[in-house]
Structure 1
Amino acid sequence: MEVTATEVTAEEAEQRTIRRAELVPDRSAFIDTVLPQCAGKENYALIGPGVSENPDQVVPVTAPHGFNLGVAALPHGITNSLHLHFTAEVFSCMSGKWLFRWGVDGTDGEALIEPGDVISIPTWVFRGFTNVGSDDGWMFSSLGQDETGGILWAPSVLAAAGEMGKFLSANNEMVDGEPGQPPEGVALTEPLSDAQLAALPRFGLDQMRERLAQPGDLHWSSSPFLDSRLHGGGAELALVIGYGITEDRLQNPKVYNPHGFSIAWLRAEPGQGVSAHRHDASQVFMVMDGRWRITLNRENPVSSEIGPLDTFSVPVGAWRQIESIGDQTGQLVVMTGGDGRVLLEWDDAVVSAAREQGLSRDTNGYLAPSAIVDRD
């Protein structure tokens, strides 16, 4: 396949490198931050504004990706209150131990989420969570679409915030009033009625378990890419949501339904990675373990090195090469825009070297023996 070439400058590469150490926390992103059980929670916008109710939040990367990416970071014992989304919301847990609950009053079910877990909460379902671990927790939060439509809070949350003198306007911004008394002349968000709440979908434990991918659920492919047998290649891939970038025709994801993006885990030993390729989808890497070097362009290469909890956004169409450069196995989340498979275009040198190793791709873009598909 052919995609439009994109050359990335060193300045743009640096702008798309989102380092944990440089992030600015938003401690008033949402109306529930006035509640005692939510005090101290930190939210970070990484790509796009997400669903924040604070117009002053800092957003490192504003270019449209077809999705939003943020972080939920909560100290021990702190809660994120019940709310629902209109687009997909997926949590990739990097640290901490989290108790998720769902349903109008949070009693339809609970799930314990730990590092390495990925959970996709269905749209139009109220969800909340608490950091029940002993340390601060960190979860990347992936949201579908550029325009998410905001969120709806459970009526109990709006009522509790109102008793603290904090209200939510009809245009989704926080406004101050007196305890139990909203400000005059401001149209407020109305809580859902009992009839509207009763009409919302409900999910049981078994249904939600199907949307949770724990490390023991993953099926790692040792040959997910054309360069799997080559020096500099050799990365392994485990699909979580959607088919994404795999070239292994036997791989299937844990979660199938459309999200507007795919999620997969990628891991590699030091010196391994993914050789030079490009494609026509937006893509973001979120590091869990190890250190990684992302090199862009072919003729004028620029590189960025990222470590745990860092993020890198690759421009659509840019040539990229991914290498694990730490002293331990590296693992990161690959988030790729779109609901369908994303076909990769490999550097000609990779194609030739793979063919020498007996590996090519069939018409569908899946790996196949060169002796069978390259007969002419």
Structure 2
Amino acid sequence: MTPAEMEPRIVRYGDLKPCNTAFIDAHTPGSDQKENFTIIGGGVSESKDQHVHIAIPHGFNIGAAGQPPKCRNSLHSHRTAEVFFVLKGRWRFFWGRWGKAGEVTLEKGDIFNIPTGIFRGFENIGTDYGMIMAILGGDDAGGGVIWAPQVIEDAKDHGLVLSEKGRLYDTRRGDTLPKGEKAMPLLTDEELKGFPEPTTAEVIPNHVARYWDLVALADKTPAKVIGEKGKLCDKPGFEVDLITRASATEKKHRHDRPSVLMPVKGHWRVDWDGGSTVLAPGDTMSVPEDLAHSAVPSMTGEAALYHVVATDDPAGPTWKG
């Protein structure tokens, strides 16, 4: 594969195209400065304005959220895995029906495999614009977002209505629901009972991995982060490894399905049969299936990247309580 052929599979951080109206809370004060990015796959955006950078199916989706300080993402849930790692800034993640069941603070490089089926939200508690990268299980990412009832109710006061098909309509722009289509119904009290309320102590040990702990594990071989034998032992339909300078090798390898490289620190030279490129933090590269490739740091200093590849495990609920 030539560099020109590979170029559409590389998304540079500086070329990311944000959507400011991706979700129902886009006009709600405190959440109205979010930027949503859909990098690989269709994602879960509710807006027709969302740009998709790479539409090739991978068995999972890759996205990102960029937010200024004190901006938050409202409480929602997914039917498949949602994994975040911090690219920039300092972030607080919180969960539960009202966001009070538990919380954790993540720094750069930390990764959080959020339990499936709980309401979760997050906010930038740093002093500068922050960015978190996301991996969502399945090609259809579980069919969309499930919002806590209060989020939908709050959005009505600011002109946004979500249809029963998961499409967003802005009444302030003159949008109306299509004829015969109803608004997304609120979850009933009975349905809400099906959303767990795990405590911080229950969640953190098996769902949060600190960057420096992973670096220590990656001293000779890549650290298994998410997967059957990962530090966060889970089978959400994909595996995640952390590769560092100490565990990188110039020996090429290949996968029988597309894989993704996402640097978090340092610059990385990726070589493949037919070409080479350099990735920086925030860049995302999709490597085609059966293409031999390698990745090694291209400069001195600290270097780490996350590697993601799909598995044959179903991309369904993984939280067992």
The alpha carbon displacement at 1:178 in A equals 6.8
> For the residues of structure 2 that align with 1:338 and 1:61, how far apart are their CA atoms?
20
Q: Tell which structure's C-alpha radius of gyration is larger.
A: 1
> For the residues of structure 2 that align with 1:132 and 1:269, how far apart are their CA atoms?
32
Preserved CA contact (<8 Å) 2:218 2:244:
no
The alpha carbon displacement at 1:264 in A equals 1.5
Preserved CA contact (<8 Å) 1:13 1:304:
no
Q: 2:242 aligns with which of 239, 244, 265?
A: 265
> For the residues of structure 2 that align with 1:217 and 1:277, how far apart are their CA atoms?
26
2:234 alignment partner AA:
N
Please name the residue that 2:185 is paired with. 190
- Aligned-residue sequence identity (percent) comes to 36
Alignment of 1:1-376 (within 5 A): 8-148=1-141, 149-177=143-171, 185=179, 186-209=181-204, 210-218=206-214, 219-224=216-221, 237-242=222-227, 252-268=229-245, 273-297=249-273, 301-338=274-311
The alpha carbon displacement at 1:216 in A equals 4.5
Q: How many residues align?
A: 308
How well do the aligned residues superpose, as a CA RMSD in angstroms? 2.1
Q: TM-score, normalised by structure 1?
A: 0.78
Preserved CA contact (<8 Å) 1:273 1:324:
no
Q: Which runs of 5+ in 2 are unaligned?
A: 314-321
Preserved CA contact (<8 Å) 2:218 2:243:
no
> For the residues of structure 1 that align with 2:54 and 2:73, how far apart are their CA atoms?
24
2:225 alignment partner AA:
V
The alpha carbon displacement at 1:49 in A equals 1.7
> For the residues of structure 1 that align with 2:197 and 2:116, how far apart are their CA atoms?
11
> For the residues of structure 2 that align with 1:112 and 1:223, how far apart are their CA atoms?
28
Q: Which runs of 5+ in 1 are unaligned?
A: 1-7, 225-236, 244-251, 341-376
> For the residues of structure 1 that align with 2:13 and 2:111, how far apart are their CA atoms?
20
Alpha-carbon deviations, 1:320-341, whole Å to 9, x = none? 021211122321111111157x
Alpha-carbon deviations, 1:351-374, whole Å to 9, x = none? xxxxxxxxxxxxxxxxxxxxxxxx
The alpha carbon displacement at 1:60 in A equals 1.3
1:116 alignment partner AA:
G
Q: Secondary structure at 1:285's aligned position in 2? A: strand
Preserved CA contact (<8 Å) 1:35 1:161:
yes
Q: TM-score, normalised by structure 2?
A: 0.91
Preserved CA contact (<8 Å) 2:67 2:129:
yes
Q: Secondary structure at 2:256's aligned position in 1? A: coil
* Segment drifting more, 330-339 vs 113-122: 330-339
> For the residues of structure 2 that align with 1:198 and 1:18, how far apart are their CA atoms?
41
Alpha-carbon deviations, 1:273-313, whole Å to 9, x = none? 3411212132101111111111111xxx2112111111111
Preserved CA contact (<8 Å) 2:240 2:307:
yes
> For the residues of structure 1 that align with 2:95 and 2:28, how far apart are their CA atoms?
19
1:154 alignment partner AA:
A
> For the residues of structure 2 that align with 1:332 and 1:212, how far apart are their CA atoms?
17
Please name the residue that 2:319 is paired with. none
Preserved CA contact (<8 Å) 2:272 2:294:
yes
Q: 1:328 to 1:73 in 2, by over 3 A?
A: same
